Amino acid sequence: MSWLDALGLALTSIRRRRARTALTALGVALGSALLVALGSVGSAAESRAVEHLGQGLPVGAIKVAPARPAFLQLNSDEFETRGAHAIDAGTITRVKALPGVSGVLPVQAAPVLAVPSTGGSYSAVMLGTDLGAGGLPVTVLAGRLPTPSSATEVAVAPSYVTRAHPGGSPADALGDRLAVAEPKVVGAPPGAPMVRWFQAVVVGVISEQFAQADLLVPLGQTQAAHAWQGVQQDGSYDPDSPYQQLIVVTSGLDQVHRVRAELYDLGYASAAPEHVLGAVLRYLHVVDIVIAGIGGVAILISALNVANALLAAVRERRREIGVLKSIGAEDGDVLRWFLLEAGLIGLVGGVAGAVAGTLMAILIGVKVVDYLTSQGLVLDPIQLSDVPFGVLFAGIAGSVLVSLVAGVLPALRAARLPMRETVGGL
Amino acid sequence: MTRAGAAAAAVLALLAGCSGQAPQATRTPAPAPIVEARIYVAIGASETLGVGAQEPASQAWSTVLYRTALPQPAVFYNLGEVGATVDRALQDELPAALAEHPDLVTVWLNTNDLIHGVSPTAYQADLDRLLSALAGAGVARLLVANTPVLSDLPAYRACADPHAAGPSCAFTAGPVPAPAELDRLVEAYNSAIAQVVARNHAVLVDLHCQGGTATQHPAWVSADGFHPTAEGYAQIARAFRAALLGSGCYRPD
């Protein structure tokens, strides 16, 4: 008997007992769905935690301040400073040369008032960086980034689109004129501020991931704003530093502590959510283990269900097995027939479970985000792209594999039935 | 939040005003610039900051002028100071203006001097010092606004009946002049402004020629009865624009 013949036989058997097969596959599907849903939610929770704690910076990013580190700097995620230390071009060169560093971005931020040509001004954070640098961790949703030397181009975050073009798409913002006001606090006590204005054209829309910036401009624009607005009165930072901050991107989370230690040796205070992120990831790992345990139990139950259904099928098909053997079928042919049937049930259940699990994950995500929003925490809901391919594959392949394993015992029993016993009732 | 951060947030909130209105999602075409200028500085008082408008920073006449009359690469410094007189501007605003090396400067400073009882002669001397310093620094275009009609402002009329509902009296720094006396004072101030403008080769922005706009267009005066609304500021910006074009007295429709 060929594999094709065995497959035809398995399909015929499935069609003959549709209800039982459907119920067995449903059991597999429930186990697979649970595994996919829990795996997806766990994975999304981990990525959201990393994103949230990273404050819009890439994973493994470290912020460096123009200040010397205090003694306990490496025990803290925040800047711990003990005096000013300018960040200049030499600093950038030295930091770039550190092992484990994959990128260094000098940045300047300024509090501004953005005034779209459509009206409705709003407070914003304007961030300037070296837009000519490669590997900028910015997602461009529409248009392009400003030209590095331009004084009249700006990229905006989606918050601008929401304000200036309610219900519109990022592309609608391209070409808009935007006026930007940079206030300067004067007098003691502070009175109405003096304001420096510049006008720019929106050339791009970026995601809000990059350091939570509302406006992204070339570094020169924020350096001009910094020169105008003056120094915030905080003696811990160097007011004359050419760069207000560096964002150091490491090659992975595991490199963060080592690079921070190197920065400490170079004499710079740094901040990165390594301790809090480590603690959160440890908790999430425990949750992952619990999730895997629950999924494993669900799969085990579905495996027992498959084995039970196939054992019943063996009892029902004794005569068919006998007839097959009497016309020359080997034990291996019967084994193949039952194993293929088990595998088909696992495949159908696995695919259905993967689809159902994905939908369950999205629904759970909506509920969780609703709850967190009511608690004042803004997170993106789970989307289709958040469901890891590995989890989907594990859901389907795992179902097939477990069904095959569960089908081994019934298949062996069917294959080893003596022909005399199987046709004895004829 | 640090103290500096809190101050910055408070400043931005002040600049933004209290508007929660959704903007109109229509893109207005960029107006053609009418003057070549790289750096524009506005010297003035609360009107230059847009006090009275719903969104002071963006609706002030100086901002409207900047956005509608100047080329896009131009940078604008609004140095206006609430309650500023010419004397105070000489100390606070002039040094900041000179530091930016502007090629276009607008000056609108007279009402606070008048309210504080500064004599037209003293005012003329102070204004002359201010404009001479700016002209001496090589400012290519210097626009100076005169005093509009004040006697029909609700905040002036309220001085006659302090207990009436509505705006309170704006003339709190000294004795309130009678309407005829106020008109004479405004005449004297405007005569002084015209002389100083001529002496320093500046351009006069004639806001007085428009007459009593508060009576003709009550919607152009804000709830305080003194400062313009956004609509009023837009008209003032048009007057400055007309002066830049050399069109003489701008009369609103």
Q: Dump pLDDT digits (tens) for A128-170.
A: 988 887 667 777 889 999 999 898 999 999 889 988 898 888 9
State the DSSP H helix or E strand holding residue A38, giving kind and residue range, or none if neither. Answer: helix A18-53
* Pairwise CA distance, residues B102 & B76, whole Å: 9
Q: Determine the pLDDT at residue A210.
A: 67
Using an 8 Å CB-CB cutoff, list chain B residues near A166: 22-23, 25
Q: Determine the pLDDT at residue B26.
A: 52
Quick one: pLDDT band at residue A413, thresholds 50, 70, 90?
confident
CB B143 within 8 A of CB B240: yes
Q: Find the residue in B nearest to A199 (Cα).
A: B72
Q: Give the global pTM.
A: 0.68
Q: Determine the pLDDT at residue A231.
A: 58
Q: Is B123 on the interface with A (CB under 8 A)?
A: no
ipTM above 0.90, yes or no: no
Q: Is the pLDDT of residue B216 over 60?
A: yes
Mean pLDDT (chain A, rounded): 84
Q: Determine the average pLDDT of the residues in A89-95.
A: 92
**Quick one: how far is CA A178 from the chain centroid?**
33
Q: Determine the pLDDT at residue A389.
A: 83
Q: Determine the average pLDDT of the residues in A314-319.
A: 84
Q: Dump pLDDT digits (tens) for B182-208.
A: 999 999 999 999 999 999 999 999 999
Q: Do B23 and A119 touch (CB under 8 A)?
A: yes
* Pairwise CA distance, residues A100 & B49, whole Å: 51
Q: Is the pLDDT of residue A19 over 80?
A: yes
Nearest to A101 by CA among A221, A258, A311: A258
Using an 8 Å CB-CB cutoff, list chain B residues near A234: 2, 4
Q: Which two tokens stand for residue A157?
A: 């975050």
Mean pLDDT (chain B, rounded): 86
Q: Is the pLDDT of residue A280 over 90?
A: no
Q: Is B90 on the interface with A (CB under 8 A)?
A: no
Q: Do B57 and A198 touch (CB under 8 A)?
A: no
Q: Determine the average pLDDT of the residues in B146-171.
A: 84
Q: Dump pLDDT digits (tens) for B60-81.
A: 999 999 999 999 899 999 999 9
> Which residues 174-233 of B have a C-beta within 8 angstroms of A?
none
Q: Determine the pLDDT at residue B20.
A: 42
Using an 8 Å CB-CB cutoff, list chain A residues near B23: 116, 118-120, 163-164, 166
Highest mean pLDDT among A331-335, A362-366, B34-38, B81-85: B81-85
Q: Is A123 on the interface with B (CB under 8 A)?
A: yes
- DSSP bridge partners of A184: A194
Q: Determine the pLDDT at residue B189.
A: 96
Between residues A241 and A250, the one the model is more confident about: A250
Q: Find the residue in A nearest to B71 (Cα).
A: A199
Q: Determine the pLDDT at residue A181.
A: 93
Between residues B94 and A283, the one the model is more confident about: B94
Distance, in angstroms, between A110 CA and closest chain B CA? 10
Q: Determine the pLDDT at residue B158.
A: 84
Q: Do A197 and B23 touch (CB under 8 A)?
A: no
The least confident of A2-16, A107-121, A276-290 is: A2-16
The least confident of A247-251, B98-102, B134-138 is: A247-251
Q: Determine the pLDDT at residue A313.
A: 86
The shortest CB-CB distance from B7 to any of A123, A185, A198 is to A185
Distances (CA, A) of A245 to A109, A119, A330: 9, 32, 75
Q: Do A190 and B7 touch (CB under 8 A)?
A: yes
State the DSSP H helix or E strand holding residue A225, giving kind and residue range, or none if neither. Answer: helix A219-229
Q: What is the DSSP letter of B109?
A: -
Percent of chain B with pLDDT over 70: 88
The SS3 call for residue B195 is: helix
Quick one: pLDDT band at residue B22, thresholds 50, 70, 90?
very low
* Pairwise CA distance, residues B179 & B8, whole Å: 43
Give me the amino acid identity at B41: V
| Placement of tokens 């193949």 in the chain | A336
Q: Determine the average pLDDT of the residues in B20-39.
A: 65
Q: Dump pLDDT digits (tens) for A168-213.
A: 889 999 999 999 999 887 765 566 788 999 999 999 998 866 667 8
Q: Which two tokens stand for residue A391?
A: 């989890």
Q: Is the pLDDT of residue A233 over 80?
A: no
